[in-house]
Structure 1
Amino acid sequence: MANVFNCSVLELPKIHNRAGNITVLDHADSIIPFEIKRIYYLFDVPGGESRGGHAHKNLHQIIIAASGSFDVILDDGKIKRSIVLNRPNYGLYVPPGIWRDLENFSSGSVLLVMASENYDENDYIRDYEDYKIFKSR
């Protein structure tokens, strides 16, 4: 089973240009440890709100602060670890089996997620007590 130390911050390639930087990612990149099947983003999160509050059974994710900043609280049922994301050329890899909470969104922040699977409600664990049972198997 995955633990919080299996989660890692990846430096994504950044192409410098005086007119603005660009980061390009595709399946051929060895940086992304899975095939990207879904991309989504969160924005306009009201101050003081949190998101996440779940784990996935099979889904791998890369979480990126495309704009602004936020905290990702990782929890493997035994250890918690907090990661601040605040640069668009860094992404946090989260393997299956890790509970995540997203907090402290700055004004105007945009959270971008690249996922290994299409949406499947059955892959979510949304109750922390159920999560602890899942982790004890």
Structure 2
Amino acid sequence: MAHLINIPTFSDDRGNLTVLDEVIPFDIKRLFYIYGVDSSARGGHRHHKTVQAAICIKGSCTIVNNDGTKTESFEMDCPHKCLILETQDWHVMKNFSPDAILLVLASTSFDATDYIFDPYPNS
């Protein structure tokens, strides 16, 4: 089931430092970021093997998740908030602010056969 974790952030007069060390619950094999999104939705899938961690490092977006039993909506609006998406989590990213940058860390390298595009019947 998708869940939020807080990433340790250290702040002082010079600014903020957010540290990912030992916070992400998997070894990172791939990372990518999504930005410049118009009114389109992104995602619309789940995975056979891949676990992901999504962090909106600038701006905001909404991630709607369905794990097969319930649907939840997560507002990603600060860079120390991280959403862990498990393999069963069919998710859609939407409502990107014009300045949004969504960083995604993945537990596997890209594999087109890992994607499941069909939503759960109760979606």
> Which of the pair has more CA radius of gyration?
1
- SS at the partner of 2:14? coil
| Structure 1 residues without counterparts, runs of 5 or longer | 1-5, 133-137
- SS at the partner of 1:59? coil
| TM-score with structure 1 setting the length | 0.83
Please state which structure has a larger fraction of its residues in strand: 2
Q: Which of these residues, 68, 74, 79, is aligned with residue 83 of structure 1? A: 74
The percent identity for this pair of structures is: 36
Amino acid at match of 1:66: I
- SS at the partner of 2:113? helix
Please state which structure has a larger fraction of its residues in helix: 1
**Matched residue, 2:18:** 23
Give the CA deviation at 1:82.
0.5
Runs of 4+ displaced beyond 6 Å: none
Kindly indicate whether the alpha-carbon contact (under 8 Å) linking 2:43 and 2:92 is maintained by their aligned counterparts in 1.
yes
Q: Which of these residues, 34, 46, 50, is aligned with residue 42 of structure 1? A: 34
Give the CA deviation at 1:17.
2.6
Matching of residues 1-137 of structure 1 within 5 Å: 6-26=1-21, 29=22, 31-46=23-38, 48-128=39-119
Q: CA RMSD in A?
A: 1.2
Distance, in Å, in 1 between the alignment partners of 2:90 and 2:2 is 11
Aligned residue pairs, count? 121
Kindly indicate whether the alpha-carbon contact (under 8 Å) linking 1:11 and 1:90 is maintained by their aligned counterparts in 2.
yes
Query: Cα deviation per residue 1:72-127 (whole Å; 9 max; x = unaligned)?
Result: 00012332110101000110011111100011111110000011011011100123
| TM-score with structure 2 setting the length | 0.92
| Structure 2 residues without counterparts, runs of 5 or longer | none
